[in-house]
Chain A
Amino acid sequence: MAIDKSVIGKTGKPFTVPIEWSKVREFARAIRDPNPVYFDSELAKKECGGIPVPPTFLQVAAFWQDADSMPTVHFDIRRILHGEQEFELYKPILVGDLLTGTARIADVYEREGGRGGKMTFMVTEIEYRNQKGEKVAVARSTLIETGQAVGG
């Protein structure tokens, strides 16, 4: 099936992400990170000016995006691989911040794979600004649809 290049540049509706302490703690526990700055607000205030977030925390945006704010192409869920993920973090993100994210499809392309057959790549970029309008982060993900099931 030929890929549809016209989706490149398609931008989603902006969505908000409130940075919540309970979510930060839950995320830190999930990645087995015992760093006290995520758990002790007094220490965090002293060391970081507030409770910071782990470097990959913006993955939680999945909870705040809906179909309108997440431009995508249809991939078969059984054949999806996460190829790459990148975070550019310009300014600290702290608990209490209110971020606004805007997602766009940066690229879609095909490549011949090895044992996985023909692969389709989709690169999505989400730009985040805080409540002061400052650009705080860009999250860039590359998803791959393989020709056959991904495990084993």
Chain B
Amino acid sequence: MTSKIKYESVEIGDSLPTVTIENVARPDFVRYAGASGDFVPLHYDQTFVEAAGIPTVFAQGMWTAGCLSRCLTDYAGAGNVRHFKVRFARQVWPGDTLTCRGKVTGKNEKGGEKLIEGEVEVANQKGEAAVRGNFAVVAG
């Protein structure tokens, strides 16, 4: 798979393409439940969440991580991601607007591949981090 990036021209501190997710809505969580098989009711069942003392349904962490993964595939091309790790910091709620962004923190040749490493983050409209992660993608 041809990478969209050239190892020699990547510099530490380079930004990845930013992805904006406007107006997070309950159908996003329902759609992701169906797509992924994550049917934990916290993400779509209002009656269930209220009984658990939670004001409303919230996003599957992996839905948000999936939105974030677009920064990597837009940057290096699908199939060129070698490592993606995410940590979930806070819930994403209906009505949120998310900004997914990242930057390059390292370059590394490993196992015959030229790897670009970096950090990514999803922030909500208040600037609070919802998901933080790190990654490695293959460069050409």
Contacts and interface: CB of A to CB of B under 8 A. Distances in A.
Nearest to A81: B88
A54 interface: yes
Contacts of A150: 42, 52, 54, 91
Interface in B48-70: 49, 52-56, 58, 60-63, 65-67, 69-70
B54 A149 contact: yes
B117 to A, nearest CB: 13
Interface string A19-49: 0000100110111110101100000000111
Q: Interface majority SS on B: helix, strand, loop or mixed?
A: mixed
Nearest to B37: A62
Interface stretch (B5-13, B78-86, B101-109): B78-86
Contacts of A89: 81-84
Given A81-B88, A84-B88, A149-B52, A63 B37 contact: yes
Contact of B79 (A31, A33, A48, A78): A48
B55 A151 contact: yes
B34 interface: yes
A87 B86 CA distance: 9
Contacts of B77: 47-48
B36 A85 contact: no
Contacts of B83: 86-89
Contacts of B52: 78, 149-151
B15 interface: no
Given A33-B73, A52-B79, A82 B88 contact: yes
Interface residues of A, number: 43
Interface string B32-45: 10111110111000
B65 A54 contact: no
Given A77-B41, A151-B54, A32 B67 contact: yes
Contact of A54 (B38, B54, B73): B73
A82 B90 CA distance: 11
B128 interface: no
B74 interface: yes
Given A31-B35, A33-B67, A89-B84, 14 more contacts: A27-B36, A31-B63, A31-B70, A35-B74, A37-B78, A48-B78, A60-B35, A61-B37, A78-B42, A85-B85, A149-B53, A151-B42, A151-B91, A152-B55
User: What 6 pairs across the A-B complex have the smallest Cβ distances?
Assistant: A151-B54, A62-B37, A31-B66, A30-B35, A86-B85, A52-B79
Interface of B: 1-2, 21, 28, 31-32, 34-38, 40-42, 49, 52-56, 58, 60-63, 65-67, 69-70, 72-74, 77-79, 81-88, 91
